[in-house]
Structure 1
Amino acid sequence: MGQRNQSATRGRPRSEAVERAIVESVLRLLEEGVPLSELSIERIARHASVGKATIYRRWKGKEELFADVLGAVGEPEPPLPGTSIREDLVITFEAIRRRGLVKRTSALLHGLLAQAKSYPKLWDLYYDTVVEAQRRRILEVLARGTDAGELRDDLDPDLMVDLLCGPILSRVILQNDAPLPDGLAETIADAVLEGLRPRP
C-alpha cells in the first residue's frame, strides 16, 4: 500500500497537488458512501474542481485511478536500514501487521478493498503496484541474505517469501478475528528464519 501507479506517467509535468486533490476527492466521495460503480470520471472531476482531461492526463481510466487511491489509503512502506536480514523482515512484517489493524478499524479501507475484488482489472492493478512491490522488497532482502551466506541457497526465493509472509498474511487477510499482537513480526521472523539458515 503506498506505491505510485507507474502507468499514470504522462508527457507533461505532473502537479502533485492536483493529483492529491483528485485522490482525496475520491476518498471523500467513498466516505460519503458512494460505491465505486457510481464514481464516474466526470463526477470525480467535478468534486475535485478539475477538468476531466486533467484526470485522463494522469490516469488511463477509473481502474488506474482507484489503484492509486487504494495505495494512498495505507501507510507508505517504511525504509529498510539494511543492517540485518532479521531487522529488515521485522520492519516489513510490522508494517503489514499495522495495516491489518487499520483495515479492521477502518470501514473505508475495508469497504474499498472489498469493492476492488469486484473489479478484476482494478484488483490486478492493485496487486501489481502494491502487493508485488512489497514482494520485490522482501526478495531483495532475501537475496542480500543469501549472498552474505546468512540464508540457504537451495530454496526457491519465491517459496522463501511465501514461507515468511504466509503466517502474517493469513492473519491479516484470511482470519478477520485472528490476533495481531505486538511482537508478532519478531516471532514470525525468528521462527521462519531458523529454518532458512544455512545447514551445517
Structure 2
Amino acid sequence: MGHSAKGVRGRPRSEAVERSIVEGVLKLIEDGVPLADLSIERIARTAGVGKATIYRRWSGKEELFVEILRGIDDPPPELPGESMRGDLIVCLEHLRRRGVNLRSSALLHNVFAQMKSLPKLWQAYHATVIEPQRRVLREVLRRGVENGELRDDVDIVLANDLFVGPMLVRTVLRSDAPLDEGLAERIVDSVLAGLRPTG
C-alpha cells in the first residue's frame, strides 16, 4: 500500500472504496435483503471493508442509503429562470422522469416501498432530497408572484402541492396512468389557468 501514499493517488482509491460499498448495498438489496436487515456490519462484509471505513464516510445507515438513492436519481434540474411557467415545467418534468424510473426499476420501487416503514430513513430522505426540491419550487412560485405571473393572494405552499400533486398521484397511486412526454406542460398550464392574475 506504501506506493499509494503520494497524496494525488489517494483520492481514486477512496472513490473505489465508496463505489464498492455502494455496489455492496445495491447487491444486497437486489438479493432481496430487506433494508431493515442491512446492518453496517453486513454491508462492510459484502463490500470487503471494515466498519470503520463506512463510518468514516457516513454517519450511519440512513445517510448511506439516502446517498445511494440520490445517486440512482437524476440530479436536480438546472432552471432556465426566464419565466415561472418555464421553470415549473422543468421541475415537473424532473418528477415525471423520476416516476418513469421508479416504475421501470424494480430496485428503486422496492427501496421506496420499504423506506416508508423505516421512519428514520424516510425522515432523512425527506430532509436531504424532498425538502430541498420543495424549496426550489416555492422559490419559483415566489418569483412568479413578484413578476406578476402569479396572483399575489395565492397560498404558495398550497400552489406547490397543486403543481406537484398530479404527478405524484400518477406515480405513486395510479401506476397504470400514463406519464407521457407533454404531461408536465399540461399540468402547469391547467393549474396556472386558475392562478394567473386576471385582467
TM-score by length of 1: 0.86
Separation in 2 of the partners of 1:16 and 1:164?
38
Q: Percent identity?
A: 61
Q: CA deviation at 1:27?
A: 1.2
**Greater relative contact order (Cα 8 A, min sep 6): structure 1 or 2?**
1
Separation in 2 of the partners of 1:31 and 1:192?
39
2:193 alignment counterpart: 194
Larger helix share, 1 or 2:
2
- CA distances 1:92-129 after superposition (whole Å, capped 9, x unpaired): 11111111111111110010001111101111111111
Separation in 2 of the partners of 1:41 and 1:23?
12
Where 1:57 maps in the other structure, the secondary structure is helix
Q: CA deviation at 1:188?
A: 0.4
Whether the 8 Å CA contact 1:151–1:197 is kept in 2: the answer is yes
Aligned length: 187
The answer on 1:129 being equivalent to 2:134 is no
The answer on 1:147 being equivalent to 2:146 is yes
Cα 1:198/1:16, change in 2 over 3 Å: farther
Q: CA deviation at 1:16?
A: 4.9
- 2:47 partner letter: A
Q: CA deviation at 1:58?
A: 2.4
Separation in 1 of the partners of 2:134 and 2:184?
16
Cα 1:27/1:190, change in 2 over 3 Å: same
Q: CA deviation at 1:34?
A: 1.9
Where 1:113 maps in the other structure, the secondary structure is helix
Where 2:187 maps in the other structure, the secondary structure is helix
Where 2:57 maps in the other structure, the secondary structure is coil
2:57 alignment counterpart: 58
2:24 alignment counterpart: 25
Q: CA deviation at 1:137?
A: 1.0
2:166 alignment counterpart: 167
Whether the 8 Å CA contact 1:70–1:113 is kept in 2: the answer is no
Separation in 2 of the partners of 1:198 and 1:58?
49
Tell me which moved more, 102-111 or 20-29: 20-29
Separation in 1 of the partners of 2:172 and 2:15?
31
Whether the 8 Å CA contact 1:94–1:185 is kept in 2: the answer is yes
2:137 alignment counterpart: 138
